[in-house]
Amino acid sequence: MPSVSDNPMPALRSHLQRDGFGFVDATAMRVLLEQAHTLDDWAAFAASWNQLAPDPYLASLGRHRRRRHAVFSAAPTGAIQRKPHQPHYQSLQYNVLQGDIERWFEPVLPEIADSISLRAILEFSRDFFGSLAPSVRSWHIELHQFRIEARPDEPGQPTPEGVHRDGVDYVLVLLVDRQNIVSGTTTIHSADGTQLGSFTLTTPLDAALVDDNRVFHGVTAVTPQDPGLPSHRDVLVVTLRKAG
């Protein structure tokens, strides 16, 4: 299982180039993120997951997911700009449950979009993935705040569409919080379904990075560790696609 903890940037780049994915533990990920900005406002950033809105597109499936969404644009250098609020769209090729529809989610709150922690995450994503695709001059970046809730009689489904690709170029999945849950293991697969690796995000800032053109990914269902207590898994997903 590829894992990165020491000398994180070269090792992670090597993993992505060789395997199409990499897992980063929280200690290494903090080093990578704080190359841009210190995460001084992380506590407030993480607390914003308590203000997510229900995902109305999954209500009929009985799954408990809350989220917010935002879109940004980025050149190889310079400021990363938030774009006007817009729907999230995937074709049926990439999302068999909810493809070919425009899904409008509540927007990421302005103070979170402007936070130091998010700026560090966006700049790292742009710079790191940009180093793997130096010919790209403009990135379309989508940001998804997710909370998956688990109940005793109903496991939470981080990826209800199953093992999939997102239809983008690169994906960062960053753990923000994990309370009273079991499992939630990220798995990476080849096109024929062969599992290439797995990693459970357990500590805030644990991360998975994926070359979406090369591999598929999924996350196993989460269940409560103590059925009598609330259970959730909070993640930030950042996707990058060549603009245009």
21-26 average pLDDT score:
95
Name 114's Cβ contacts closer than 8 Å, sequence gap at least 6: none
Give the model confidence (pLDDT) of 28-73 as tens digits.
999 999 987 999 999 999 999 999 988 876 655 445 788 899 999 9
Single-letter residue type at 115: S
> Is the distance from CB of 170 to CB of 132 less than 8 angstroms?
yes
Say what the pLDDT of residue 99 is.
47
Q: Tell me: pLDDT of 86 over 90.
A: no
Domains along the chain with CATH numbers: 8-242 (2.60.120.620)
Give the model confidence (pLDDT) of 69-85 as tens digits.
999 999 999 999 999 98
Say what the pLDDT of residue 2 is.
43
For the chain, the 3-state helix, strand and coil shares in percent, each to the nearest 5, are 25, 35, 40
* Angle subtended by helix axes 26-33 and 8-19, to nearest 10: 110
Kindly state the tokens that stand for 230: 């609330």
CA atoms in the 13 A half-sphere facing the CB of 37? 15
Say what the pLDDT of residue 10 is.
84
Name 237's Cβ contacts closer than 8 Å, sequence gap at least 6: 143, 144, 146, 171, 172, 173, 174
Say what the pLDDT of residue 173 is.
97
In the chain, pLDDT over 70 holds for what percent of residues? 89
